[in-house]
Amino acid sequence: MSPFIKVISRLKEYRKEIIISIFSIVIVSLATSGIAFLVKPVLDDIFINKNLKMLYFIPIAVIGLYGVKGVFDFIQTYLIGYICQKIVTDIRQELFSHIVNLPLKFFTQNPTGSILSRLLYDVSLIQNAISNAIIGIIKDFFTIISLIFVAFYRDSILASITMFILPLVIIPIVKLGKKSKKVSSKSQTQAGELTTSAHEIITGIKVVKAFNMQDFEVKRFLSDNYQFLKLILKRLKYRAISAPTMEFIGGIATAIIIWYGGFQIIQGYSTPGTFFSFLTAVFMLYQPIRDISRKNNQIQESVTAAERIYSVIDMDKEKDTGELIFNDFRKSINFDKVWFRYNDDEDYVLKDISIEIPKGKRFAIVGRSGSGKSTMISLIPRFYDIQKGNIYIDDNEIGSYTLNSLRNSVSIVTQDTILFNDTIANNILYGSSDKNFDDICNAAKKANAYDFIIQFPDKFNTVIGEKGVRLSGGEKQRIAIARAILKNSPILILDEATASLDTKSEKEVQKALDNLMIGKTSIVIAHRLSTILNADSIIVMKDGCIIEVGTHDKLLSDGGEYTQLYNIQLKKSE
């Protein structure tokens, strides 16, 4: 089933509303054709025969027709709008729910702007297709049928001539629609790239300003923006050309109809009322046929949008094959000859990693940039799955545990602190909804965050802004540590948690980290080696391999890679 058909199939969930809507559309179409039908008695009975009864009857009939048309037009417009909004809301929710459950690999391979473009822009195109295009075409179809009936009723020969010309109008609509679809696909891709570009610039505005790159970024965005403009103008060209093409063909048809109809009246074979009633029906046919052309373009755009949306929805979610519940960490974490790479066509990032981390111990991982430190710890909560070897927790393969129970047992504090545009209390409570306010306060105290929190006018109810913009780096880090303390997981991962802090902030955060690590199995990626001197064991990595393991004193005495790293930092500090 094609993605677009999947979208349309959702309409069956609203059978009652659809039936009422179609009934209303039929009534509107009949009322529209009734107006064309009344042209004959208006001309023949009122203006030519001067029938006084018809003079009173027909205006009332016209008012009645427009009244009925208005009521049923409202009913179908509201119901279609309701159906459309429900379907689009469901699609957006399904897409978002699926996105957040996709493997982390998806987010590393797709820019944020591209993901947001699917969630917002593409879904809005589907909304237009359902509300304006598909239902509109149904409405136009019934209107066209009823008007064709009036046309044949009034003059079958003229109607036959018109029906012969009609396919000449439809053919260019179909051809232009195909071209419009191709351009639409490119423009939607470009819209994603434009969103990505804007997102990167706005979120990184401090760096942009710090390096005086405003003009460069404006020019870069201008280039992307004009690429998007070119595609939009091309799509606009195909839309714009369809209307004059139809008008020209319609003009030819009108000229033939006027010539033939006029001849019939002059020869006495027809009346002015019959001819103008027919002509009104034909002219009223033009609008729904033209609308179908415009709506066909919208449908082509929405077909592309549906394909982009379902290309994500049809992706496999994170595989959770585990059945064991991990709720009591007893022994150790054991890496057994682990090999890992992000993509099949790339080199291995981790090579033959073997290490055992006993419960309750504090392990540190050090190494130069790109040595595989962060990748290694990302395997513990199964953000990625390994290609070779295995990881065991308490002698069970890591994949045998359910993802939820495994991740509930792991707390992570990273250098790039992730906070949400919410209150301080809710940021600390994130992932621990069973805790109360006293628990939040205690966690904040242990994280050395309580004192600065109560300085805010709204205290724990202070909204910290996007990414915690109202807080300093050290304050954000301590909020993240409070969150980890509240979660109280037995396994703790610290990924360069103090790397970007100044000396004063680092001391405050380090105190909080010391509180956090009490009674935990801690794995610390260290930027500053001075913070891990008391680690039970230090793992030294290089080029994806573990090359040294030992305490600080032992590694220094060995004079290997660790000694080089330590001496480099020592010289820098001097």
How do residues 275-302 score in pLDDT, each as one tens digit?
777 777 777 777 777 677 667 767 777 7
CA distance 569 to 367: 12
* CA 453 vs CA 373, 472, 507: distances in Å: 33, 12, 18
Q: Where residue 503 falls among pLDDT bands split at 50, 70, 90?
A: low
520, 490 Cβ separation under 8 angstroms = yes
What pLDDT score does 177 carry?
A: 64
52-100 and 15-37 helices, crossing angle to 10°: 150
- Nearest by Cα to 178 from 301, 290, 292, 286: 301
The answer to whether residue 561 scores a pLDDT higher than 80 is yes
Q: How far is the C-alpha of 445 from the C-alpha of 448, rounded, in Å?
A: 5
CA distance 524 to 364: 5
The candidate with the shortest Cα–Cα distance to 438, out of 411, 410, 460, is: 460
**How far does CA 104 lie from the centroid of its chain?**
16
Location of structure tokens 């047992």? 409
In angstroms, the CA 29 to CA 68 distance is 11
Cα separation of the two ends of the chain: 67
What pLDDT is attached to residue 390? 92
Q: pLDDT at residue 38 above 70?
A: yes
State the Cα–Cα distance between residues 256 and 258, nearest whole angstrom: 6
Nearest CA to 80 out of 28, 146, 142, 14 is that of 14
Q: What are the CA-CA distances from residue 537 to residues 195, 234, 321, 362, 556 (Å)? A: 45, 63, 33, 7, 13
* Block residue for tokens 């030294």: 540
In sign, the C-alpha dihedral spanning 68, 71, 74, 80 is negative
Specify the 3-state DSSP secondary structure of 383.
coil
114 or 491: which carries more pLDDT confidence?
491
At 409, is the secondary structure helix, strand, or coil? coil
Of 284, 283, 277, residue with least CA distance to 41: 277
Q: pLDDT digit string (tens) for 164-197? A: 766 666 666 666 666 666 676 677 677 767 777 7
Which CATH superfamily groups domain 3-313? ABC transporter type 1, transmembrane domain (1.20.1560.10)
Rounded to whole angstroms, the Cα distance separating 404 from 492 reads 16
Domain spans of the chain, in order of start = 3-313
Burial class (CB in 10 A: 0-12, 13-18, 19+), 372: buried
Q: Rounded CA gap, 514 and 542, in Å?
A: 27
Rounded to the nearest 10°, the torsion over CA 134, 140, 141, 144 is: -170
What pLDDT score does 188 carry? 65
What's residue 525's pLDDT?
86
Q: Where does the pLDDT of residue 501 fall: very low under 50, low under 70, confident under 90, or very high at 90 and above?
A: low
**Distance in angstroms (rounded) separating the CA atoms of residues 153 and 33:** 12
Query: Above 80 in pLDDT, residue 538?
Result: yes
Does residue 315 have a pLDDT over 80? yes
- For residue 535, pLDDT over 70 is answered with yes
pLDDT of residue 210: 59
Residue type, 192: G
Between 315 and 300, name the one with better pLDDT.
315
- Mean pLDDT for 314-324 is 83
| CA gap 274, 280 in Å, rounded | 10
pLDDT at 145: 82
Digit-coded pLDDT (tens) for 402-447: 888 888 888 888 777 778 888 889 888 888 878 888 988 888 888 8
* R_g (Cα) of the chain, nearest Å: 35
Q: Distance of CA 402 to CAs 391, 396, 493, Å?
A: 14, 12, 19
* Cβ atoms < 10 Å from Cβ of 18: 17
Judge whether 401 and 325 are in contact, CB under 8 Å: yes
CA angle, 536 then 537 then 540, to 5°: 155
> What value does the mean pLDDT take over residues 391-412?
88
Mean pLDDT in residue range 477-484: 85
| Res 570: pLDDT | 65
Mean pLDDT computed over every residue of the chain: 80
- The residue that leads in pLDDT, 129 or 226, is 226
Amino acid identity at 359: K
What is the predicted pLDDT for the residue at 183?
Answer: 72
Q: According to the per-residue pLDDT averaged within each range, which of 348-357, 504-513, 557-566 is highest?
A: 348-357
Task: Cite the DSSP H helix spans in 110-210.
Answer: 112-117, 123-128, 135-154, 156-203, 205-210
Q: Quick check: helix, strand or coil at residue 355? A: strand
**Percent of the chain at pLDDT above 90?**
2
pLDDT of residue 339: 92
186: DSSP letter: H
Count of residues making up the chain: 574
Q: Which of 159-163, 477-481, 487-491 has the lowest mean pLDDT?
A: 159-163
What whole-number distance in Å separates Cα of residue 360 and Cα of residue 531? 18
Q: Which pLDDT score is estimated for 178?
A: 65
In contact, 481 and 509? CB cutoff 8 Å: yes
Range among 419-423, 468-472, 547-551 rated most confident = 547-551
Q: What is the pLDDT of residues 359-369, one digit of tens each?
A: 888 898 988 88
